[in-house]
Amino acid sequence: MKEILLIKLGEIVLKGLNRKNFEDTLLRTLRRRLAKIGSFQVKASQSTITVKPMDDDIDMDDAVLCVSRVFGIAAFARACKAEKDLEKIKEQAGEYLRETLEDAKTFKVESKRSDKKFPYTSPEISAEVGGYLLEKFPHLTVDVHDPDVIVTVEIRDFAAYIRAGLIRGAGGIPVGTGGKACVLISGGIDSPVAAYTMAKRGLELMAVHFASPPYTSERAEEKVVELLTRVAKYSGRMKMYTVPFTKIQEQIREKCNEDYFTIIMRRFMMEIAQRLAADKGAQALITGESLGQVASQTIGAIACTDAVCRMPVFRPLLGMDKEEIIEISRKIDTFEVSIQPFEDCCTVFTPKHPRTKPMLENVIAEENKIDSLPLIEEAVQNVKVRDIV
C-alpha cells in the first residue's frame, strides 16, 4: 500500500487575492526540496497539497523530515489513498493503521466529506469505520474525548484518504514571498536564530560574515558555514559573502577612542552589508540583537548604529531573553555548533568599558579619524562568495 503525505496550509489561506502566488511558491519549494530524496508528484486541491512518491524505494521518513522544515505548512499527515467505496475504505483503514491501532488502547473516528455526492454523511462514515475497527481490533475501546489515536477519513473529489493524527508543520509563509534580506551572521547563538525567524516570515536570505584573520581562524569561518547550512534546511539555499575586516578593525583600534570600538565597528558592518545587499537585490538587513543583552545592544547604541543605514533593519530577537533564543537554536539544531570555542570578529578588540549611552555626534567624531571610504571599498571588492545548500 503506497503511502502519501497530506499537507494542510497555514496562514496562506488568509491571503485573499494573493493566495495563488503563495501556494505556487510553496509548491515550487516542496518540489525542489523533495527532489533531493526522489521523484514525487506534488499537487494542490481544496486547500490541501498531496505529496505522492513515484518510486517504490523512496524512504517516506526522509520525506516527512523534509516537509517538516518547509515554511508555509501548518500541519501534515502520513496517509493512504482509497477508492470512494465505504467497504474498501474500512478495509484499508484496518490494514494501513494496523501497527498504530495495535499499540493503542482507545480511539475515535472523525470523517470529513468534501464531496457531498458521496452517499454517506460524515457521522455515518465515522460509525461504519469505527464499528469495523472495533471488530478487527477487539482490545480497543472508543474514547471521544481523549483517545490515543484519532482516525480521520477524508472524502475528497477524486479519492478517499485515511490517516491517524497530524504532524505539526514549520508554520510561517513560504520563503521568497516576503522579499529578500541580508543577515549579518556571526558564529554566536543569536544571528542564526534571527535568520531562521525572518525566513519563517517569507524572506529569501543572503548572508554576510565578517572575518578578521589572523585574529579569527579559518575554523571560525567554517563554523559559520555549518550554522548557515543548518538554517538552510528551513530557509533554502543562499549565498554567503565573507568580508575581509582586519584592516578596518586595526584602523579603529589605532585611531579611535577604545570606548567607541564596538559601535564604530557595527556601523562599518552595516555600511558594508547594505552595499552588498543592495547590489544583490536585498531590501533589508537582519541582525541578532536582543535589547540590553550586551553594551552594543542598548537603545542608544542601536540608534547610533542605525544612523548609518539606508534600508530597514529587522531585529526579530529584540524582545527575547537568552533562554528563549537558546530554545529556538536547539530546535533548529544550531546551538551545539554556536557554542564551539572559535573566535569571531565581534569578540576581537572588545573594549573594557564600552559606551552604553553614546551620543551620535561623538561617535561620528571618532569615526571621522579614519579614512573610511577606501577601506569600505577595498573590503567590498575582496568579498569571498560561497553557496550554502
- Which of the residue ranges 171-185, 199-213, 340-354 would you say has the lowest mean pLDDT? 340-354
pLDDT of 139 > 70? The answer is yes
For residue 150, what is its C-alpha cell?
Answer: 484519532
Q: Higher pLDDT residue, 30 or 350?
A: 30
Q: How confident is the model at residue 17 (pLDDT cuts 50, 70, 90)?
A: confident
Residue 346 above 70 pLDDT? Answer: no
User: What does 249-276 look like in DSSP terms, one character per residue?
Assistant: HHHHHHHS-GGGHHHHHHHHHHHHHHHH
Domain extents in the chain: 3-170, 180-388
CATH architecture observed for domain 3-170: 2-Layer Sandwich (3.30)
Is the CB of residue 189 less than 8 Å from the CB of residue 289? Answer: no
Residue 124 has pLDDT above 90, yes or no: yes
Q: Among residues 321, 302, 283, 312, which one has the least CA distance to residue 193? A: 321
pLDDT digits (tens, 9 = 90+) for 276-293: 999 999 999 999 999 988
Question: What pLDDT does residue 353 have?
Answer: 66
Provide the whole-model pTM. Answer: 0.91
**3-class DSSP assignment, residue 383:** coil
Per-residue pLDDT reduced to its tens digit, 210-245: 999 998 889 999 999 999 999 999 999 999 999 999
Is 348's pLDDT higher than 70? no
Band of pLDDT at residue 351, cut at 50, 70 and 90:
low
The least confident of 100-104, 236-240, 298-302 is: 298-302
CATH code at 180-388: 3.40.50.620
Beta strand extents in 188-273 (DSSP E only): 204-211, 238-244
Domains 3-170 and 180-388 share a fold: no
* Mean pLDDT of all residues in 179-200: 96
